[in-house]
Amino acid sequence: FTSGTTGAPKGATLTHANIVNNGNFVTSAIKLTVDDRLCIPVPLYHCFGMSMGTMGCVSKGATMVFPGEGFDAGATLK
């Protein structure tokens, strides 16, 4: 579904090619490589979790990190 920022949320169909290419293009823009690790703290049904997280990492060979329930973003940033 869309976010609903300009109206009611609407269902938006994405093709498999769209999702894979979205991840590939975004991770190319941030220069993600096989040597990188990407923390994915959101659910896989979230746009970041699916497109950039899993598909982006798979397309670049980067490592996916799925934090556990005890993940503390503030402590990680320190």
Q: What is the largest CA-CA distance in the chain?
A: 41
If one counts the domains in the chain, the total is: 1
- Closest CA relative to residue 31, chosen from 7, 51, 11, 60: 60
Q: Is 5 contained in some domain?
A: no
Q: Which whole-number Å values give the CA distances from 26 to 1, 20, 32, 34, 50, in the listed order?
A: 20, 10, 9, 15, 12
The predicted-structure confidence for 21-70, as pLDDT tens digits, reads as follows 999 999 999 999 999 999 998 888 888 888 889 999 999 999 999 998 88
Q: Is 60 contained in some domain?
A: yes
Q: Is 24 contained in some domain?
A: yes
For residue 52, the model assigns a pLDDT of 86
- The whole-number average pLDDT for the span 5-23 is 88
The predicted-structure confidence for 62-72, as pLDDT tens digits, reads as follows 999 999 888 88
Q: Is 74 contained in some domain?
A: no
pTM above 0.75, yes or no: no
Distance CA 25, CA 67 (A): 24
For residue 2, the model assigns a pLDDT of 80
Q: Is 59 contained in some domain?
A: yes
